[in-house]
Amino acid sequence: MRNGAAVLGVVMALVGVMPALAADDEPRWLLSSSVNYSIGDYGTNKDTTIVYVPFTFGVRPIDSLWVSVTVPWIYQNSQNVVVTGGGVATRKKAKGKFAQPATATTESGLGDVLLKASYVLLDEKPFLPEIAPYVKIKFPTADEDRGLGTGEFDETIGVDLSKQIIGPLYGYVTVAYTFVGSPPGADFHNSFGWSVGAAYTLIPSLSVFAFLDGSTAIAPGQADPLELRVGAEFRLLKTLKLTGAVTRGLSDGAPDWGLSAALTLRF
């Protein structure tokens, strides 16, 4: 089962990444966008609302390789946290211009551009899952002076595993490690992220899924993020899918709630 979608630690929920729950007829191109809303205090003294809208273009130059570029727009109503390539980090222990501001301001604009390459190393076998390692680079295109990014490069290496368990039931596992760049005044840690979940095909055009997503904390004093994500994927047309999900944070390091909706065109 081909899985051309990216999954990444905490960013899994933030950017609305969804698993490929149904096999496509060997698509070569991908266009997708989503709207992702989240709110939570991340262990600080104030809630932060984040709206993340990524636009992704992907191409499969050879059968086993997907390459994609994501250009996001981001909105947030405080500067208590910042989005990194490994998830959301708090700024409460940062110093200098990157310290948590006394007065929160609402900012929006271009986010950090993402480049990803995923390669299917092993196709699914009767007793083996599909194995697809990937690399991802976050380019610091977001304005760090407005709190929309760190101004640093982040690099992620990971692997997606997927397997038909029995009949319409599929299992998914992702592990990833992100090298997080620290801006002046911050001491961010590299992050290990993981996701485990399952999807069930109710009818050929409709699947439901549930995932548990977690990672190690990026900022000092921040709790390890952990969240539950449930949703459904509906095939509107042969090449067009609509995906929706609800996320519930299970730790102080994750947002309290999140909602996402995505459209994906594969052709």
C-alpha 134/C-alpha 161 separation (Å) is 11
Task: Count CB-CB contacts under 10 A for residue 61.
Answer: 9
User: Full-prediction pTM beyond 0.95?
Assistant: no
Does 51 have pLDDT greater than 90? yes
pLDDT given for residue 39 in this prediction: 96
Burial profile 5-24: b = 16 or more Cβ within 10 angstroms, e = fewer: bbbbbbbbbbbbbbbbbbeb
Q: Which fold has domain 11-266?
A: Porin (2.40.160)
pLDDT given for residue 24 in this prediction: 52
Helix (H) or strand (E) holding 264: strand 257-266
Q: Which residues contact 188 (CB under 8 A, 6 or more apart)?
A: 84, 89, 150, 180, 181, 182, 218, 219
CB 226, CB 245: distance < 8 Å:
no
Does 8 have pLDDT greater than 60? no
Domain ranges of the chain: 11-266
Handedness of CA 231, 232, 236, 241 (dihedral sign): positive
Does 74 have pLDDT greater than 60? yes
pLDDT in tens, 9-37: 334 434 334 445 544 568 999 999 999 99
pLDDT given for residue 12 in this prediction: 41
Q: What's the mean pLDDT in 192-205? A: 97
Q: How confident is the model at residue 100 (pLDDT cuts 50, 70, 90)?
A: confident
Write the DSSP string, 159-188: EEEEEEEETTEEEEEEEEEEEPPPPTT--P
CB 231, CB 213: distance < 8 Å:
no
Does 7 have pLDDT greater than 90? no
More confident site: 79 or 19:
79
Q: How confident is the model at residue 44 (pLDDT cuts 50, 70, 90)?
A: confident
Q: How confident is the model at residue 105 (pLDDT cuts 50, 70, 90)?
A: confident
Q: How confident is the model at residue 93 (pLDDT cuts 50, 70, 90)?
A: confident
